[in-house]
């Protein structure tokens, strides 16, 4: 194999959570979205982070420091004149001390006023002071905007966002949707689970930065009549986990998904399809522009030759209807053939088998003429949140131990990134 197993599994999160060992300063500026910060603080702690809350005077009009202290497990700071110790320092310089051990400052919600203040370097409260005084090289600033749609769209706000980005500030959101004022549009703060996903992704290594990754996921559904069809038990969870892991690794990700009800990972472009023909129509035109193609979808091998226009009813004869089937296009083989000619994309196939996993995985890799196949036992994993994978290439095979699917996806993406790097380095 290209790399030893340890070099791949080292990409897994530390035991205890995705943010284990991280120290986050969570700032709250004024806005009704402060209520979401309570759930966010709880989620950050559950993910393993230590969370230090800093609130503006305006934020205290929406949620109490008592609530935030209970959820973070640490005293809340609200005043630049607070003389309490910070990490053993009692020098009345909370605006300095609060960020010296921090891995990031996340302001959620970040109001329009607070962003304007940051842009101009104004520092008239503790939160703006510590943002200005933080060590830029080691303590990044992330903002989760929250405001009325007109405020977000205003040229002054957009100008401020552009200049803050140029200064190195990272933006998480905003989202679009119903707002507290009753209007609908851009400016809504991301939900706590979305912010958590964004923050976790921010800290992940970026070995696929600048790469394009195309992924298929889920089953296909081949209709027999308007209400019935041929499908399988694939949940799509593994493919969606790989899409998230690839996005975390810095890739531009397109996910072609069969009929599943899963939330699209943040930053991933999703294309929904139903049948194998639709999946092929979505994948084939995109494939030549991609660096990596991961065929996770459990594509139906056959489809009915013809579709009944109406639901097929029982007729009392107790004789089951007979269907003529035709073979579906082999999407992975078609893309692999492109790769042999064009040199891209790097193709990764999945083999969901019921028995003889290594034997069938080897045969499929050779038949498809692809560099890597990922084998797993379908009946043991369909619909579950965990899995165990076997990586098979021309040099041999190795097993990735049982783990949750996101952890396995991160290991797999780390392996793919290493293979791409070794291909790009001259021998």
Tens-digit pLDDT profile for residues 129-174: 999 999 999 999 999 999 999 999 999 999 999 999 999 999 999 9
The reported pLDDT for the residue numbered 70 is 96
The reported pLDDT for the residue numbered 427 is 44
User: Residue 14: pLDDT band by 50, 70, 90 thresholds?
Assistant: very low
- 81 φ/ψ angles, rounded to the nearest 5 degrees: -100, 10
Pick the CATH number of 5-203 from 3.30.70.141, 3.40.50.1950, 3.30.1130.10, 1.20.58.220: 3.40.50.1950
Gap between the Cα atoms of 196 and 36, Å rounded: 12
Q: Which residue has the higher pLDDT, 289 or 322?
A: 289
Q: What is the largest CA-CA distance in the chain?
A: 90
6 pLDDT higher than 70: no
- The second-level CATH assignment, the architecture, of 212-300+324-424 is 3-Layer(aba) Sandwich (3.40)
Q: Which of 95-104, 357-366, 407-416 has the highest mean pLDDT?
A: 407-416
Gap between the Cα atoms of 260 and 231, Å rounded: 12
User: Residue 386: pLDDT band by 50, 70, 90 thresholds?
Assistant: confident
Q: Hunting for tokens 């994948």 — which residue is that? A: 283
The reported pLDDT for the residue numbered 92 is 66
391 pLDDT higher than 90: yes
The reported pLDDT for the residue numbered 93 is 76
Gap between the Cα atoms of 24 and 291, Å rounded: 34
- Region(s) of the chain under CATH 3.40.50.10300: 212-300+324-424
- Region(s) of the chain under CATH 3.40.50.1950: 5-203
426 pLDDT higher than 70: no
Are 108 and 89 in contact by the 8 Å Cβ rule? The answer is no
The reported pLDDT for the residue numbered 3 is 47
320 pLDDT higher than 50: yes
> Three-state DSSP class for 213?
strand
Gap between the Cα atoms of 276 and 267, Å rounded: 25
347 pLDDT higher than 80: yes
Q: Which of 131-145, 335-349, 372-386 has the highest mean pLDDT?
A: 131-145
- Residue in 34, 131, 139, 181 annotated catalytic: 181
As a whole number, mean pLDDT of residues 254-277 equals 96
Of 293, 304, 378, nearest to 344 by C-alpha is 293
Chain segment 242-258, per-residue pLDDT in tens? 999 999 999 999 999 99
Are 208 and 242 in contact by the 8 Å Cβ rule? The answer is no
As a whole number, mean pLDDT of residues 18-45 equals 96
> Catalytic site residue 181?
yes
Q: Which residue has the higher pLDDT, 132 or 85?
A: 132
Least confident piece of the model among 312-316, 343-347, 387-391: 312-316
145: its two tokens? 């905007």
5 pLDDT higher than 60: no
The reported pLDDT for the residue numbered 210 is 95
pTM of the model: 0.88
């Amino acid at each position: 194999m290209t790399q030893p197993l340890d070099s791949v599994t080292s990409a897994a999160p530390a035991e205890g959570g995705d943010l284990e060992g991280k120290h986050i300063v969570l700032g709250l500026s004024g806005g009704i979205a402060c209520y979401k910060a309570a759930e966010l603080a709880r989620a950050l702690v559950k993910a393993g982070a230590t969370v230090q809350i800093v609130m503006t005077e305006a934020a205290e009009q929406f949620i109490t420091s008592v609530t935030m202290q209970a959820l973070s497990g640490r005293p809340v700071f609200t005043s630049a004149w607070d003389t309490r110790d910070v990490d053993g320092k009692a020098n009345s310089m909370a605006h300095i001390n609060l960020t010296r051990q921090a891995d990031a400052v996340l302001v959620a919600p970040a109001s329009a006023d607070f962003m304007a203040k940051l842009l101009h370097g104004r520092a008239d409260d503790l939160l703006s002071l510590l943002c200005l005084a933080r060590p830029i090289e080691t303590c990044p600033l992330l903002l989760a905007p929250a405001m009325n749609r007109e405020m977000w769209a205003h040229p002054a706000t957009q100008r401020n966002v552009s200049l803050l980005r140029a200064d190195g500030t990272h933006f998480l959101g905003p989202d679009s949707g119903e707002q507290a004022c009753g209007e609908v549009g851009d400016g809504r703060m991301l939900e706590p689970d979305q912010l958590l996903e964004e923050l976790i992704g921010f800290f992940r290594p970026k070995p696929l930065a600048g790469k394009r990754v195309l992924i298929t996921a889920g089953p296909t559904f081949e209709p027999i009549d308007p209400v019935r069809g041929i499908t399988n038990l694939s949940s799509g969870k593994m493919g969606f986990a790989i899409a998230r892991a690839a996005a975390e690794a810095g890739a531009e990700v397109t996910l072609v998904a069969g009929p599943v009800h899963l939330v699209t990972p943040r930053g991933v472009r999703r294309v929904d399809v139903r049948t194998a023909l639709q999946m092929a129509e979505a994948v084939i035109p995109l494939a030549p522009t991609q660096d990596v193609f991961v065929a996770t979808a459990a594509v139906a091998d056959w489809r009915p030759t013809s579709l009944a226009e109406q639901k097929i009813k029982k007729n009392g004869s107790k004789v089951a209807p007979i269907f003529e089937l035709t073979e579906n296009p082999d999407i992975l083989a078609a893309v692999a053939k492109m790769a042999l000619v064009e040199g891209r994309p790097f193709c990764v196939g999945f083999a969901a088998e019921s028995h003889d996993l290594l034997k069938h995985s080897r045969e499929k890799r050779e038949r498809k003429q692809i560099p890597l196949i990922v084998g797993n036992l379908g009946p043991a994993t369909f619909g579950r949140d965990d899995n165990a994978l076997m990586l098979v290439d021309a040099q041999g095979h190795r097993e990735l131990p049982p783990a949750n699917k996101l952890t396995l996806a991160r290991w797999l993406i780390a392996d793919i990134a290493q293979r791409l790097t070794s291909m790009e380095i001259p021998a």
